[in-house]
Amino acid sequence: MAGTKALLTLENFINGKFVPCSSYIDSYDPSTGEVHCRVPDSGNEEIEAAVEAARAAFPGWSARSPQERSQVLHRLADLLEKSLEDLAQAESRDQGKTITLARTMDIPRSVQNFRFFASSILHHTSECTHMDHVGCLHYTLRAPVGIGVPPGVVNIVFGTGPKVGEALVSHPEVPLISFTGSQPTAERIAQLSAPHCKKLSLELGGKNPAIIFEDANLEECIPTTVRSSFANQGEICLCTSRIFVQKSIYSEFLKKFVAATRMWKVGIPSDPSASMGALISKAHLEKVRSYVKKARAEGARILCGEGVDTLSLPPKNQAGYFMLPTVITDIKDESCCMKEEIFGPVTCVVPFDSEEEVIQRANSVKYGLAATVWSSNVGRVHRVAKKLQSGLVWTNCWLIRELNLPFGGMKSSGIGREGAKDSYEFFTEVKTITIKH
């Protein structure tokens, strides 16, 4: 039709070339509910081509010196930085997140990660021991398992989990899998990869507690906890979804927290003043809303957000997947809203009496990804952090990352860790060599 803008059509990237696919899936702009691009619906054929390209590229790339590979990663970081605005716009439109978040966190963090690992690969050392009594020297080597950037080194194949995902994780020549996502998907990956004894790194969900003691600095705690609850529409695995507040300050905290939450503006992603954009999909929006309905049916109180306050949007965004940040209270620990990962702008606030009690309640879910502790008592901070069943514990802050240190969760929040040393160990195979002299 004349005047109609053609839809963007993505292609797979295999062996250094963009490759069209025989069928495609519609991808929706979360802020409007309209189709904004078409994505390949790949399957076995595309996975076979990608695996073959990777196999052919692997010997040459793995033989390159750390210095050469470091230069490639630095070049990638430079290219990302040069295209920061274009990438931020694309990420915002695809995910529904605010352009501000994409500009200030997503793309800059990608650049930072490439530069960090470009540097860290130059400083790894191997182990060596000597056994004088038998005249033997032992040392270790690490051989790369995955791959990295000339043609065939990086391949991007789009599609659905049941189709292309299963083809990838069950392929006998894919030796390891790094996955970030939900626990049910991870269970399926484990089933499919088990016959091949693949290495797995699984970063899964969380039901992350914030524990706020009576000596917490509320001037810092409240804005940070609003951010930790609702940043990126709550669609961050590290977001806070259970807030435990000591009884003596519970009423004060709740009043100030709700007031601060109502200041958290929901708007179209391109609005620079928006704190939150749209959720990722219509189906996910309905899922998140269903948790609020369940909480209300259980007798909980919804203090602000869904079903309480009015969301104002421009006419063209009325069909977008927007939801106000929602605070729930008067809810039991046994509620699904306190047990299950909602992955949206919903958080529950409940009171507690003692340190021992709150540790037990915080640990009572199947997840163990992250936690935050707010207190001015250094001894208490150390005690509580040690006893929490969480792979990450932030005290008096949130989402401050140190890439040198391990990142990952306990219990149903995953298997393995990421970080300079942990990633190096995961993406390589260690070999012990003994030489008798």
Q: Is residue 401 part of a domain?
A: no
- Based on the fold, state whether residues 127 and 26 are members of the same structural domain: yes
Same domain, 265 and 197: no
Query: Which residue out of 46, 203, 235, 341 is catalytically annotated?
Result: 203
With H, G, I as helix, E, B as strand and everything else as coil, classify residue 143: strand
| Distance separating alpha carbons of residues 153 and 146, to the nearest angstrom | 9
Answer yes or no: are the C-beta atoms of 212 and 229 closer than 8 Å.
no
| 365 in the same domain as 242 | yes
> Does the residue 125 lie in any domain?
yes
The predicted model scores a pTM of 0.94
Q: What is the pLDDT of residue 132?
A: 87
State which residues form the domain around 431. 8-204+416-436
Sign of the torsion formed by the C-alpha atoms of 308, 312, 315 and 317: negative
Residue 334: inside a domain, yes or no? yes
Q: How distant, in Å, are the alpha carbons of 195, 225, 227, 381, 384 from that of 402?
A: 35, 20, 19, 19, 21
CA proximity to 154, closest of 51, 268, 42, 34: 51
Residue 374, amino acid: W
How many CB atoms neighbour CB 124 within 10 A?
13
Same domain, 377 and 254: yes
Give the number of residues written for the chain.
437
Burial per residue of 197-234, b for 16 or more beta-carbon CB atoms within 10 angstroms, e otherwise: ebbbbbbbbbbbbbbbbbebebeebbebbbbbbbbbbb
Task: Please give the C-alpha separations between residue 421 and each of 94, 172, 425, 427, in angstroms, as whole numbers.
Answer: 32, 27, 6, 10
Is the residue at 20 inside a domain? yes
On whether residue 407 sits in a domain, the answer given is no
Q: In the chain, which stretches have pLDDT less than 70?
A: 1-5, 146-147
Q: Copy the structure tokens of residue 259.
A: 């007031």
CATH number at residue 35: 3.40.605.10
229/309 same-domain check: yes
Per-residue pLDDT reduced to its tens digit, 152-181: 999 999 999 999 999 999 999 999 999 999
Same domain, 275 and 156: no
386 and 305 within one domain:
yes
Residues 50 and 185 in one domain: yes
Adjacent-strand bridge partners of 301: 329
Q: What is the pLDDT of residue 210?
A: 98
The total of structural domains in the chain comes to: 2
Residues 199 and 242 in one domain: no
CATH number at residue 362: 3.40.309.10
Q: Is 216 in the same domain as 197?
A: no
Residue 2 is assigned to a structural domain of this protein: no
Tokens describing residue 410:
């306990």
- Give me the pLDDT at residue 1, please: 38
**Sheet-wide strand order for 8-9:** 8-9, 34-40, 24-29
203 is catalytic: yes
Is 1 part of any domain? no
Are 28 and 102 within one domain? yes
In a domain, 41, yes or no: yes
Opening angle at CA 25, ends 22 and 31, nearest 5: 150
Q: Write out the two tokens for 196.
A: 């091949």
- Bridge partners (DSSP) of residue 368 are 410
Q: Which region, left, alpha or beta, applies to residue 33 given φ > 0 means left and ψ of -120 to 50 means alpha?
A: left
| Contact (CB, 8 A) for 198 and 426 | no
Same domain, 236 and 113: no
